[in-house]
Structure 1
Amino acid sequence: MSPTLTAVPDTAPTDEFADLERRLALIACGTREGKTQACDVHRKKGPTLLRIASTGAVDALAMAICGSEHRRSCTDCVTKATEMIGIYNEGAR
């Protein structure tokens, strides 16, 4: 089964996308017990992370998380990107 991706609107986020944006930013920042919000840096990346996640591009999303200018992102960021795309696809249904 091939998932169908829903495009993220370029306008102000709806409640559904705002919640999803916050979740993705938290994952990018790093999750641990008791942590409920992303840092300011990752919170500001939220809209970009959401747009990239909507495309399903794991490599591009990992690079946005990592902030890497190298050809490859670190393994942790690739893992986060994969998780984020899965969450995006669940939220877009």
Structure 2
Amino acid sequence: MTATVAEAPGLPQLEQHLALIACGENTRSGKTRACDSCRARSQTLLRITSTGAADALAATICGTGDRRGKTCDPCKQKAVRMIRIYNGETE
């Protein structure tokens, strides 16, 4: 499945796509744009994604930010998907 990513001013396409995944592109049918909060975190999401640190990325997506590292399964799945996309793997 490939998500259509709407152009947002000032955000490169990969950042937009990662922000949309983090935001939950499947939460609303036809959703093509991340919310303001996820778009604001797009550079951080891209930076963490580029390291391949799935646990840290999942915590950032989930918003847990605690040292226990407890994140929900959907956010863990989003993190893995984002890293795969970053690495050029097909969806």
Verify same fold: TM over 0.5: yes
Q: Extract structure 1 runs of 4+ deviating beyond 6 A.
A: none
State which of 47, 53, 69 in structure 2 corresponds to 1:51.
47
The match for 2:72 among 47, 65, 74 is 74
The aligned amino acid for 1:67 is G
Match status 1:34 vs 2:10? no
Whether 1:87 and 2:85 are equivalent positions in the alignment is yes
Q: What residue ranges of structure 2 are gaps of 5+ in the alignment?
A: 1-9
Query: Which sections of structure 1, spanning at least 5 residues, go unmatched?
Result: 1-14
Instruction: Supply the distance in 1 between the matched residues of 2:19 and 2:64 (Cα, whole angstroms).
Output: 17
Following superposition, the deviation at residue 69 of structure 1 comes to 3.2
Taking only the aligned residue pairs, the percentage that are identical comes to 55
- Does residue 24 of structure 1 match 2:18? yes
Q: Per the alignment, in what secondary structure is the counterpart of residue 76 of structure 1?
A: helix
Give me the CA root mean square deviation: 1.8
How many residue pairs were aligned? 76
